[in-house]
Amino acid sequence: MVKKKILITGGAGFIGGNFVHYILNKYPEYEVVNLDALTYAGELTKHQEVENLPNYHFTHIDITDKEQLSNLCIEKEFDYVIHFAAESHVDRSIANPEQFILTNVLGTQNLLQAAKQTKISKFIHISTDEVYGELDFDKTNFFTETTPLQPNSPYSASKASSDLLVRAYAETYQLPVNITRCSNNYGPFQFPEKLIPLTISKILNDKKVPIYGNGQNIRDWLHVYDHCTAIDAILHKGINGEVYNIGGHNEKTNLDVVRTIIHTIGKSEKLIEHVEDRLGHDKRYAIDPTKLEQLGWKPTYTFETGIRQTIDWYIKNKQWLNQVLNKKK
């Protein structure tokens, strides 16, 4: 088998961390370098089972460090770069937009420049459906790859900006890129500030679960494993320069998600607490993944199957959850 060198940025985070496991399991001939700044949401205990593999390496680098990035890419001569590293929480972006610009925009530009110095075969930039703005509640309307970018939060604006930089490097320098825009992910190892792990954590401890506004905002939910298989398909089959939307066909209101978790664990809906709505809270996200499905990809998880598996995982891994929660404090 041909040995490939792959750089995964943000590999100590949720989606990137799951992708590290996926790649090492499916392609044991690949050499994987996990690059992460180890900010509040990054932790390496999730990689204890793989950290001693000869083809896995961790490097502690912040993508805002241009010199270190450049040196690493020149030294390793990566075949593939999969770029997950990003600040990603909307509430944090509202409180501190500057950090999102530094990491998501300038950090991405640094990585693009470093990748340009070497002859990579593919640069995949992991983005979000939030760059499209919001949809109304008409269930016939979906985001497609040609939907105009209309970001409504500092987070989504920073991701839209980085998307445009990636596109510019493809057009100007012929860098072989793909941009992926996914819907809301869930699954193992997600940092407990996001809706699903936060809700599970609160319910397991009989604490109130905060829901913004009336809870009727709709999201399309994608299991992180299905996201990993989608990136795999794009890495090996995607057409250079193309954008691919990744959606799970699982639209749920935030209130429905919380109720499902409560009922599955066997608790009371009295734990639900409606709080003041988030600033600029988008009504609905929904993705049409037809273009990606033409590469032969399909999601394997229904929300009902995936959420039960996810709840079971967090119950079985309370030690990890408590460790992360204590670190957060």
Active site residues: 129-130, 155
Region of residue 129 (left: phi > 0; alpha: psi -120 to 50; beta: else): alpha
SS3 of 33, please?
Answer: strand
CB 159 within 8 A of CB 151: yes
**CA–CA separation, 310 and 313 (whole Å):** 5
CB 202 within 8 A of CB 270: no
Residue among 292, 300, 296, 293 at smallest CA distance from 244 = 292
Q: CA triplet 283, 185, 169: central angle to 5 degrees?
A: 90
Helix (H), strand (E) at residue 170: helix 154-173
